[in-house]
Amino acid sequence: NAGVTQTPKFQVLKTGQSMTLQCAQDMNHNSMYWYRQDPGMGLRLIYYSASEGTTDKGEVPNGYNVSRLNKREFSLRLESAAPSQTSVYFCASYGAERNTEAFFGQGTRLTVV
């Protein structure tokens, strides 16, 4: 049981480049989330998906897009990376319909230069 798997673990981008962060879960959860973590600001919700085929904006969606490809996978795309997007990104899945524990991936450390 792998839980939540994120790729890549580390990435350096130049300003203006694009990339997609991948996330997959094997717990049959309906809800999946993308957070960014910055010093002193906790975990801020970028986008979430309450079920396959639906996505909604969180607290800080600007500069990002998401795709809920199927029940297992939820990807986060940066179309034109900016230095302000330097952060650690976490994917999580959550059995919200059963109020069960949310599980987090190990994170992607992204640096935009």
84 three-state secondary structure: helix
Our separate counts of H helices and E strands in the chain read: 0, 11
Q: Which residue(s) pair with 4 in the sheet?
A: 25
- Determine which residue in the list 33, 34, 64, 74 makes contact with other proteins, applying CB under 8 A: 33
Phi–psi pair at 62, nearest 5 degrees? -65, 130
Asked if residue 27 binds other proteins (CB under 8 A), the reply is no
Asked if residue 19 binds other proteins (CB under 8 A), the reply is no
Closest distance of CB 37 from other proteins, Å: 9
Dihedral (Cα; 58, 40, 80, 25), 10-degree rounding: -60
Asked if residue 53 binds other proteins (CB under 8 A), the reply is no
- Determine which residue in the list 51, 67, 75, 86 makes contact with other proteins, applying CB under 8 A: 51
Stretch that binds other proteins, among 10-18, 42-50, 65-73, 76-84 (CB under 8 A): 42-50
Task: Tell me how far apart the alpha carbons of residues 84 and 52 are, in angstroms, rounded to a whole number.
Answer: 30
Task: Tell me how far apart the alpha carbons of residues 42 and 69 are, in angstroms, rounded to a whole number.
Answer: 27
Whose Cβ is closer to other proteins: residue 3's or residue 16's?
Answer: 3
Residues of this chain, 63-102, that bind other proteins according to CB under 8 A = 90, 92, 94, 96-97, 99, 101-102
Asked if residue 26 binds other proteins (CB under 8 A), the reply is no
